[in-house]
Copies of this chain bind each other. A is one copy, B any other.
């Protein structure tokens, strides 16, 4: 693990090993490198550099007579030092823009679309959570009499989401009366949080109190929504990767995707963190995903946002994945700002 700097060529060789292994999934040997990338040196020289890289822990031999494979540490070095940032082609960006703008301005669809786009564009699996809001603000309320003693409370919250809840009272409710209450509460409570509304004492009638409590309840639910909407996509691409070809591993991962727990924890991990977060191999805190890499990012504005992640084998096109997740993040953030505004 001595790491007193790699020579220029050693870095280059590491880069080649990573690129080649990412592309072929097969251990890469010394002469593959001179043949394909021919830096004008002999195979023996490359081999020399390889043992240096190996003793520094960046590559290893899966078995005696095979080529070298990048280790987790090697991928990290590559991502930090060697990789040059990529950009999506204008075409790809146009496609993504187009996809996002043609769907209804509906949050559920965004997250699904984002998951699909991330998955298809990177060839890996993806998870996207819909934004989690810490303290949503009340924006507008509507009361609709449905049966004699019941009314539907429909509330529009700060982040543009609609929520509904049934209010049941002991006396019959008239629509006119409900309209009055709604008008009054809309005027009084706009912009307040659930806690503030709960403490609001300007209530008079028992009906108003009922509606208020109902509203608080509804907002609480919206706030602490333990499992935010989660969409995933592209798990089939994972199965296409040779490292998952044998069933059991793939099955475990798929099962993990089908529980929402993974996505929730992942959202926690990603949301804390500004920028793109990259976890490689044993850095990934879920044992099921050992041997995988996770590239995560958040989208949304300061106080509310959601998480996105691309999950694949450590052998992934990090440059493309990062570029894609960044771009999708920008698009989502813009749309989100637009919706909240």
Contact = CB atoms under 8 A, between A and B. Distances in A.
Interface of A: 104-105, 108, 116, 119, 139-140, 142, 144, 147, 152, 154, 156, 162, 164, 166, 179, 183, 221, 229, 233-236, 239-240, 244-247, 250-251, 254-255, 257-258, 341
Nearest to A120: B258
B251 A239 contact: yes
Closest 10 A/B residue pairs (Cβ): A236-B254, A236-B255, A239-B251, A245-B247, A142-B142, A162-B162, A140-B144, A236-B251, A236-B258, A239-B247
Nearest to A244: B247
- The copy count of this chain in the complex is 2
A233 B258 contact: yes
Contacts of A245: 247
A239 B252 CA distance: 10
Contacts of A166: 105
A221 B140 CA distance: 24
A4 to B, nearest CB: 44
A156 B151 CA distance: 13
Nearest to A245: B247
Contacts of A116: 258
